[in-house]
Amino acid sequence: MTAQTDTPGSVTTVYQVSGMSCGHCEGAVSGEISELPGVSSVKAVAATGEVTVVSAAPLDEEAVRAAVDEAGFELITNV
């Protein structure tokens, strides 16, 4: 997991997700994670499998895992 504070009151975390292969995949993962409380932005990149999340506070990894699973993909680990 890479966590860093970009602006006061926000945390940026990068997750590794397997199975994303296109823009639709990116949208599905981003859509599910963006519904988690405190999330202000999500950027998924299918080419690298990385999902960058900006949130008000660190997110519960199991909540992120459940959101990724709901989108039909697998959270490998935090980068």
What would the two tokens of residue 33 be? 């994670």
pLDDT at 9 (0 to 100)? 74
Say which amino acid occupies 25: C
* Residues of the chain by 3-state class (helix, strand, coil), percent to 5: 30, 35, 35
Distance CA 35, CA 5 (A): 21
Which one is predicted more confidently, 22 or 4?
22
CATH of the domain at 14: 3.30.70.100
CA-CA-CA-CA torsion sign (64, 38, 25, 13): negative
Indicate if the pLDDT at residue 5 is higher than 70.
no
Domain count, the chain: 1
Distance CA 42, CA 33 (A): 7
pTM of the model: 0.86
Q: Tens digit of pLDDT for each residue in 6-52?
A: 456 799 999 999 999 999 999 999 999 999 999 999 999 999 999 99
Full residue range of the structural domain in which residue 61 is found: 2-78
